[in-house]
Every structure is written in structure tokens, then in C-alpha cells.
């Protein structure tokens, strides 16, 4: 078709409809006078590739031009001159094999309707229409309906001030996670039912610039938020309501119920004077918000109410954990399995020794005590039976052997250190070792009760012999 003269053609509507062609290249045609290309290539289910060229500047209507071309994978739409285009409803509807479209350079300043423009592109993953001028568009019905693989869509700069119809605009876009509508300022919306229906991945939505037509009682938002199960943050306008409070009708936005989890209470909460992370406003169930929201008094951002974090009853300060009880006895170093300290012995078979700045030995009701409490828990000193053994107070630790029990006290230790109590068998062994050890020392130690110095028997004998010799010598001199 390279030699076709189409320079005088004005109407090409339905020209190649259901042609059965696989590929079509019209880039050499002069289409400068063509104004109507509606249905030109529609229902060409075998068509995989199409080229039109750049001579489409006079075309005003492309309604359904490529509709239902399910096999189409390549189209030179980025090169088209659409500066006169006014109607492109259903242009790409049902073209399920298209995966990417970059239409960012299109002049859309004359468009009034985008109805069904990209509806049903089930494999589309990339779409660039960010720079479009939509200031004259009134009809956005089903513009992006059923695009299940599209994850992001930048419409943040769109001017929708003339828009009144938004029904099903994003319905079925189940993978869409980001949609910034925070700068949208709509005209008086007549209907936006099912607008975000089944947007199951959408987590945040700002409708603060949406305005409903006067007198609307909730019909306009019928099921608008149904199926938005991941939506956690919703900003609502002062010029809208979400539905009719009448329990007999379903004319409301139908917010999905919030699941109750370890992180969320299952309620919506107004941010109020708080923040999104720490809301402080009133709480609502999804049904209450869907049927009772009135922007005149409730305009705010609503979020899933977080579960309050538990605060320790006695968090303490520094290294104090708030525990006022004695720590568990870690056991004797030589016997880690020693039972925890059960308190003072009340049978009279043992002595009580406390750690701290001084030592205490209690013997037969006589005691010399200098003690510091090791915890907030008081302990009772009970008189013990007779004390046997030797205490070496010149060393850094005092070892005391009394009756059937022994305690090791680290002098100068931290107040509150647990005592390590030994078993009867261990006490006897330690007593024997202690006596042997004391006998081998050259430095005498004071006895615990008499404060006397122990004497070595060899020294006593030697002294006696010395005195005898001196006496004999004295008697000799006298004679």
C-alpha cells in the first residue's frame, strides 16, 4: 500500500475493521485531511503491528480505533500528531497484549472524554501519561479499568477541575500500590461509584480535593472503596460524605473491615492533633466511617489504629531493673548446683554472716555485728551454737567455720552480694583444710573470741629450756 494517494481522504472510519491482517504500515500515507478514524482497525484480532506515521494532525475522533485488537503488541502511537483530537474513547480498549505505552508527548488539550481509553489492557506494566492536559475532560469513566499488572501510575499533575464522572476509573487495578491524587481538585462530582473497587494493593489515598455535587446523600460514592483491603491511610474532604447512614441501603463507599492483629486494633482512627504514626482522634469501625462520615465536621486523615505499646510497671533507672527481690543465688563456685539461699537458719545449727563493710559472727547469743542489708528484704540474725575455727582477717576475705555451716564473706564487696552457703560435707572438708593452712603460716592470727596470739609448741619448749639454762648459770655464779 505504499503508492496509495490518501491526500484527499477525510473519513477512514471502519476502513480495516475485522480485516484479518497481521501487520499494517500506513506511515507513507498522507492523512493530513482525515478527521474521522473511529473503528478504523477495531476487532482485527490477528493484527500484531501497526504504523500510522505523523500526518494525523486533522483527526478529531479515534473512538474505538484499535478496540479489541487482542494480539497487537507494537504500535507507533508515540509518533502520532493528536493536536486536534477531541474524542479517543475506547481507543485501546481490550488490547490485552500491549505491555508498554509512552504517550507523554501527546497534546490532549482539546479532549473532553477519556472514557474506557485504556480499559482491559491486562498485560500493561508501564504507562506514561503524566504530562497530559486534562483541564477540559469531564468524563473519566473506566479510563484505567482492569489493569491488573500496572503497579504505578503518575497522575499527580492532572487537572481534573472539570471532571464530574469518575465511575470505575481505577476499578480492578489490583497491583496498583501508588496513586498520588493529593493535588486533585475536582468539579462537583455526580458519580464516582466503584472508582477504586478491588484496588487491593493500594495503601494510601488522598481524596482531600474531591467535592460532591450538592444534595448528594451517598449515592455518588457507591462501593467506591470496596475491596481496598490494604488501604491504611485515607484523607477525606470537607466537601463529601461517604454514604447514607440508613441501614437499609448500601449506598456508601463500603470500606473493608480492618483486620485485628498484633499491630492494629481493627478500627480506623482520626489523626486529629497527633500524627499518622501516633493518631489521637476518635475511632470508628469501617462501617461507621462508611455510613457516618460527614466532611463538614469530620474532615481529617484516618489511619488504622495501632495497638498501644505496653509500658513496664517499674522500668527503674540506670541498671536497676525494678526488681525489689533478692537475686537468685548463683550457687557456690565449686558447686554451681547449690540450692538458692532460703534465708536464715532458724534451727540453731548455723551462724548468719552478712556481706558489706564488716563481718558478723554470732556465737551462743554473743554477737558483734556490723552489717548492711543486701536488699530491701530484711533478714533475721539467729543465735548459733558454738563456733570453731580460725578467721584470717589480714587477707582480703574472711573465712568463718561455725557448727555445721560455713560462709565465705568477701570483705569490701558490693552491698547486697548473695552469700554462698556450703553443704555439711563441704564444711567439714573446708575446716580441715583451713586448720592445715593456718598451721603452715608464719604470721600468727588472732583468735576470734580472746584476741590472743596462738603459740607454737616448739617455741614454748625452747623458751623453757632457755630459762632453765639461764637459772643454772646464775646458781653457778652465786656459788
pLDDT of res. 479: 58
Cβ neighbourhood burial of 136 (10 Å; 0-12, 13-18, 19+): middle
**Distance between CA 48 and CA 24 in Å, rounded?**
9
| Contact status, residue 56 vs residue 81, Cβ threshold 8 Å | yes
Tell me the residue ranges of DSSP E strands in 295-429: 301-306, 361-363, 366-368, 397-402, 405-410
Residue whose C-alpha is closest to residue 135's, from 102, 163, 174: 163
Residue 435 lies in a domain: yes
Cβ contact 425:384 at 8 Å: no
Indicate whether 235 belongs to any domain.
no
Residue 77 lies in a domain: no
Nearest partner of 233 among 198, 183, 181, judged by Cα: 181
Report whether 158 contacts 134 (CB < 8 A).
Answer: yes
Residue 216 to residues 161, 225, 299, Cα–Cα distance (Å): 18, 17, 17
Quote the pLDDT of residue 469.
78
pLDDT band at 312 (very low <50, low <70, confident <90, very high): low
Q: How many domains does the chain have?
A: 1
Alpha-carbon span 376 to 356, nearest angstrom:
14
CB atoms within 10 A of CB 118: 25
Q: What is the largest CA-CA distance in the chain?
A: 172
Q: pLDDT tens, 37-77? A: 999 999 999 999 999 999 999 999 999 999 999 999 999 99
pLDDT digits (tens, 9 = 90+) for 139-193: 999 999 999 999 999 999 999 999 999 999 999 999 999 899 999 999 999 999 9
Domain-embedded: residue 377: yes
Whether 272 is in a domain gets the answer no
In a domain, 399, yes or no: yes
Q: Which residues contact 281 (CB under 8 A, 6 or more apart)?
A: 269, 270, 271, 272, 273, 274, 300
**DSSP letter at 87?**
B
Average pLDDT, the chain: 78
Distance CA 291, CA 312 (A): 39
Name the nearest CA neighbour of 278 among 267, 269, 289, 290: 269
Share of residues in the chain with pLDDT > 90 (%): 59
Specify if 371 maps to a domain: yes
HSE-up of residue 416 (Cα within 13 Å, Cβ side): 8
Q: Which of 98-112, 308-322, 352-366, 403-417 ranks highest by mean pLDDT?
A: 98-112
- What pLDDT shows up at residue 314? 55
Domain that holds residue 449: 361-458
Cite the beta strand spans of 318-376 per DSSP E: 361-363, 366-368
Query: What is the rounded CA–CA span in Å between residue 189 and residue 179?
Result: 19
Residue 263 counted as domain residue: no
Residue 210 pLDDT greater than 90, yes or no: yes
Q: How far apart are the first and last CA of the chain?
A: 166
Rounded to whole angstroms, the Cα distance separating 160 from 166 reads 10
pLDDT tens column, 126-139 = 999 999 999 999 99
Amino acid at each position: 500500500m505504499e503508492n496509495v494517494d490518501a491526500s484527499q481522504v477525510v473519513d477512514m472510519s471502519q476502513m480495516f475493521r475485522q480485516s484479518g491482517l497481521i501487520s499494517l504500515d500506513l506511515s507513507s500515507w498522507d492523512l493530513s485531511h482525515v478527521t474521522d478514524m473511529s473503528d478504523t482497525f477495531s476487532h482485527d484480532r490477528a493484527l500484531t503491528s501497526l504504523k500510522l506515521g505523523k500526518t494525523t494532525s486533522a483527526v478529531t475522533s479515534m473512538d474505538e480505533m484499535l478496540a479489541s485488537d487482542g494480539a497487537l503488541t507494537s504500535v507507533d502511537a508515540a509518533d502520532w500528531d493528536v493536536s486536534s483530537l477531541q474524542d479517543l474513547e475506547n481507543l485501546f480498549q481490550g488490547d490485552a497484549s500491549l505491555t508498554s505505552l509512552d504517550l507523554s508527548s501527546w497534546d490532549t488539550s482539546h479532549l473532553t472524554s477519556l472514557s474506557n481509553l485504556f480499559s482491559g489492557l491486562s498485560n500493561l506494566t508501564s504507562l506514561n501519561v503524566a504530562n497530559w492536559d486534562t483541564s477540559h475532560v469531564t468524563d473519566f469513566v473506566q479510563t484505567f479499568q482492569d489493569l491488573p499488572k500496572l503497579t504505578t501510575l503518575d497522575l499527580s499533575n492532572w487537572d481534573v477541575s472539570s471532571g464530574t464522572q469518575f465511575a470505575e476509573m481505577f476499578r480492578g487495578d489490583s497491583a496498583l500500590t501508588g496513586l498520588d491524587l493529593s493535588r486533585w481538585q475536582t468539579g462537583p462530582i455526580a458519580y464516582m461509584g466503584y472508582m477504586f473497587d478491588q484496588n487491593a494493593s493500594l495503601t494510601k489515598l488522598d481524596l482531600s480535593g474531591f467535592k460532591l455535587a450538592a444534595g448528594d446523600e451517598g449515592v455518588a460514592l457507591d462501593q467506591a472503596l470496596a475491596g481496598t483491603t490494604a488501604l491504611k491511610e485515607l484523607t477525606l474532604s470537607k466537601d463529601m460524605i461517604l454514604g447514607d447512614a440508613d441501614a437499609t441501603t448500601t449506598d456508601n463507599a463500603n470500606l473493608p473491615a480492618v483486620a485485628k492483629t498484633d499491630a492494629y486494633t481493627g478500627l480506623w482512627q482520626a489523626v486529629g492533633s497527633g500524627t499518622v504514626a501516633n493518631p489521637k482522634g476518635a475511632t470508628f469501625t469501617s462501617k461507621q466511617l462508611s455510613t457516618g462520615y460527614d466532611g463538614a465536621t469530620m474532615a481529617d486523615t484516618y489511619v488504622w489504629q495501632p495497638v498501644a505499646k505496653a509500658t513496664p510497671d517499674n522500668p527503674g533507672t540506670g541498671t536497676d531493673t525494678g526488681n525489689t527481690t533478692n537475686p537468685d543465688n548463683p550457687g557456690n563456685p565449686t558447686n554451681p548446683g547449690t540450692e538458692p539461699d532460703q534465708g536464715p537458719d532458724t534451727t540453731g545449727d548455723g551462724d548468719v554472716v552478712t556481706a558489706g563493710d564488716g563481718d558478723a559472727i554470732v556465737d551462743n547469743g554473743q554477737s558483734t555485728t556490723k552489717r548492711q542489708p543486701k536488699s530491701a528484704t530484711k533478714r533475721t540474725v539467729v543465735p548459733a551454737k558454738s563456733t570453731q575455727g580460725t578467721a584470717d582477717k589480714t587477707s582480703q576475705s574472711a573465712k568463718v567455720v561455725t557448727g555445721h555451716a560455713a560462709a565465705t564473706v568477701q570483705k569490701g564487696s558490693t552491698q547486697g552480694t548473695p552469700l554462698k552457703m556450703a553443704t555439711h560435707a563441704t564444711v567439714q572438708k573446708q575446716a580441715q583444710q583451713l586448720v592445715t593452712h593456718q598451721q603452715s603460716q608464719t604470721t600468727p592470727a588472732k583468735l576470734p573470741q580472746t584476741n590472743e596470739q596462738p603459740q607454737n609448741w616448739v617455741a614454748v619448749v625452747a623458751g623453757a629450756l632457755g630459762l632453765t639454762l639461764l637459772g643454772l648459770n646464775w646458781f653457778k655464779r652465786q656459788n
